[in-house]
Amino acid sequence: MLTIETLNEFGVNTKEGLTRCMNNEKFYFKMLKMGLASDQFEKLGAALECNNLDEAFEAAHALKGVLGNLALTPIYNPLAEMTELLRAGKSEDYVTMYQPILEIRNKLLALV
């Protein structure tokens, strides 16, 4: 079950997220669920697999905006870091880098 407490345990800045959603918990959770379920995660994973960095950046950037809005800090922070690397067009082992991000996302998504 996804609760404020469990989110906090994961390191989500629920306070900030709630503030952005005008302290409407229901709305926040609704958005949260949508955000976690976003197919952009899969798009990003696929693009990285194919080493299509441009597409990967598009997906990462879009996700970054959403995650930032929802204050999903534990996913947002590493993703933001990756986004900037992709923006700079640097060649990194993005697949490995994406692995822990996806893991946290999947854990949270399992709670939904």
Asked if 27 interacts with another protein (CB under 8 A), we say yes
CA 78 to chain centre: 9
Nearest to 65 by CA among 80, 53, 54: 80
Q: Using CA atoms in the order 68, 1, 112, 31, what is the torsion angle rounded to 10 degrees?
A: -40
Nearest-angstrom CA–CA distance, 102 and 8: 18
Instruction: Using the rule CB under 8 A, give the single segment among 4-12, 23-31, 43-51, 96-104 that binds another protein.
Output: 23-31
- The single residue among 5, 8, 11, 24 that binds another protein, judged by CB under 8 A, is 24
Which one, 34 or 112, has the nearer CB to another protein?
34
Q: Which of residues 34-93 bind another protein (CB under 8 A)?
A: 34-35, 38, 58, 61-62, 64-66, 68-71, 80, 83
* Structure-token pair, residue 98: 């994406």
The total of other beta-carbon atoms located within 10 Å of residue 110's CB is 9
Binding site for another protein (CB under 8 A): 16, 19-22, 24, 27, 31, 34-35, 38, 58, 61-62, 64-66, 68-71, 80, 83
